[in-house]
Amino acid sequence: MNPYEPPHSDPSGWRKRGIHGGMAAVLLLGAMIIRFGIPLFMQTSYAESGMQPLLLLLSLIGAIAWLWGCCHLALHFGLSMAWGFFGLLFLVGPFVIFWAAHQKPKWDMAAARRPQRKNEYRGDPDSLY
């Protein structure tokens, strides 16, 4: 045990997942600002000013930040990082992650109730039937 931590600290609790919540908030808000906020301030005609490559790059960076933020959001709620790929559905993605986080205790309880059949006899492997 670390002498600098209080004795009631739980390393598997909120501290372990706390960084993911902060990272998710920063990345999701940053992605929204990059994707929608910056182009609103650049009200020039994009076709005439030659800023299309810059806007394409901003869109790509915003999409990657959004997806990475959704992955951190899934980790924050104790889900697999793969649930973060629902971020590809844009605004539907975080709602799916919230729903899955709400359902996770039920899924864990159902998995614990299922019988383990690893040592069950399944018949003779040399039999034709």
- Is 120 part of a structural domain of the chain? no
The answer to whether residues 45 and 80 touch, using CB atoms and an 8 Å cutoff, is: no
Helix or strand (DSSP H, E) at 129: none
Domain membership of residue 105 as a residue range: 16-113
CA triple 85-86-88, angle to 5 deg: 80
Number of domains within the chain: 1
- pLDDT for the residue 68: 93
Q: Which residues of 72-81 are buried (b: 16+ CB within 10 A; e: fewer)?
A: bbbbbbebee
Question: Strand, helix or coil at 45?
Answer: coil
Structure tokens at 1: 């045990």
pLDDT along the chain (129 residues), means of 10: 46 60 88 82 62 81 92 90 90 91 87 74 71
DSSP state of 85: G
DSSP 78: T
Identify the H or E element spanning 21.
helix 14-32
Cα dist. 104→60, 78, 97, 111 in Å?
32, 8, 10, 10
Tokens describing residue 56: 């394409």
Inside any domain, residue 122: no
